């Protein structure tokens, strides 16, 4: 049991940023209703977005670990004391900065998502703690063999688990973690995007659509006017 290790983030306040991220198809009828009601997209969706992850719903940390400790004794003591020099045999720095995703949001021109005319991408930010399970290796730990594996559908860079892969010693270990606690934090986005023949188009402000309609002498409180304008604006097939 001498080669028991745990990975963690040594950051404080918070130790981890944790995200819930969802994606789902949105019908043209929902967009029409929001425009006719004079609401922003954020007002129209509210907190309901958290239950709308029909296409994907991801939850987990986005902060990457930067320390690994070799420890003795009870694993729970290591969890409770991993930021102190208690029961620690060895501490190793881990630099994973190169693995942070360069792109963490959906942009104009990205591939269309879903089968409907519009798509919702949203995430909320929490501050909290995440505990990764202890693992054992027979050889000396080398930080260059560890890397994060991100959740397949996450755009924002939510970590699924870590992989320790030392081909020299034929060591391949998946390291998963568990949620400990969190509290809400400032941050997050609720984005509405249109699927077009040129890829995704982010709709920044429904007031812009209302203003465009006014310039064309269309009534943004009339459902049929709004529908026809959206069909023309985003080249939607009826």
pLDDT of residue 73: 64
- Determine the angle formed by the axes of helices 206-215 and 223-233, rounding to 10 degrees: 100
On whether residue 110 sits in a domain, the answer given is yes
Counting Cα atoms < 13 Å in the Cβ hemisphere of 27 gives 4
Count other Cβ atoms within 10 Å, centred on residue 154: 21
Q: Could you give the angle at the alpha carbon of 231 between the alpha carbons of 227 and 234, nearest 5°?
A: 130
Domain-embedded: residue 148: yes
What is the torsional sign of CA 56, 58, 64, 67?
A: negative
Decide if 202 is inside a domain: yes
pLDDT of residue 81: 52
pLDDT digits (tens, 9 = 90+) for 130-169: 999 999 987 788 999 999 999 999 999 999 999 999 988 8
**Domains in the chain: how many in total?**
1
- Is 113 a member of any domain? yes
For residue 168, the model assigns a pLDDT of: 86
* pLDDT score at 186: 81
Phi-psi region of 138 (alpha: psi -120 to 50; beta: other; left: phi over 0): alpha
Q: What is the dihedral of CA 142, 130, 49, 112, to 10 degrees?
A: 0
Domain that holds residue 32: 4-233
193-209 pLDDT, tens digit per residue, is: 999 999 999 999 999 99
Name the residue among 61, 107, 131 with its Cα closest to residue 203.
Answer: 107
Residue 112 reports pLDDT greater than 90: yes
Query: In the predicted model, what is the mean pLDDT of residues 229-234?
Result: 96
Q: Within a domain: residue 238?
A: no
Q: Contact, 19 vs 156, CB < 8 A?
A: yes
Q: Is residue 181 part of a domain?
A: yes
- The residues, ordered by sequence, that sit 6+ positions from 74 with a Cβ below 8 Å of its Cβ are none
């Amino acid at each position: 049991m001498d080669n028991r290790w745990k990975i963690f983030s040594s950051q404080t306040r918070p130790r981890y940023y944790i995200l819930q991220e969802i994606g789902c198809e949105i019908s043209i009828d929902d967009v029409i209703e929001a425009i006719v009601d004079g609401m922003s997209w954020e007002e129209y969706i509210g907190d309901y977005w958290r239950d709308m992850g029909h296409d994907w719903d991801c939850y987990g940390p986005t902060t990457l670990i930067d320390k690994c400790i070799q420890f003795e004794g009870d694993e729970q003591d290591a969890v409770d004391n991993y930021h102190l020099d208690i029961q620690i045999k060895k501490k190793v720095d881990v630099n994973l900065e190169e693995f942070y995703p360069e792109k963490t949001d959906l942009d104009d021109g990205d591939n269309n998502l879903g089968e409907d005319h519009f798509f919702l991408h949203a995430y909320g930010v929490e501050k909290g703690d995440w505990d990764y399970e202890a693992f054992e290796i027979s050889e000396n730990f080398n930080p260059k063999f560890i890397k994060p594996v991100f959740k397949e559908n996450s755009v924002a860079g939510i970590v699924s688990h870590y992989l320790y892969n030392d081909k020299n010693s034929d060591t391949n270990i998946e390291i998963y973690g568990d949620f400990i606690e969190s509290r809400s934090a400032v941050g997050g986005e609720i984005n509405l995007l249109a699927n077009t023949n040129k890829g995704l188009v982010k709709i920044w402000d429904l007031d812009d659509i209302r203003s465009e309609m006014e310039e064309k002498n269309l009534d943004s409180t009339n459902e049929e006017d709004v529908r026809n304008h959206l069909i023309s604006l985003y080249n939607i097939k009826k």
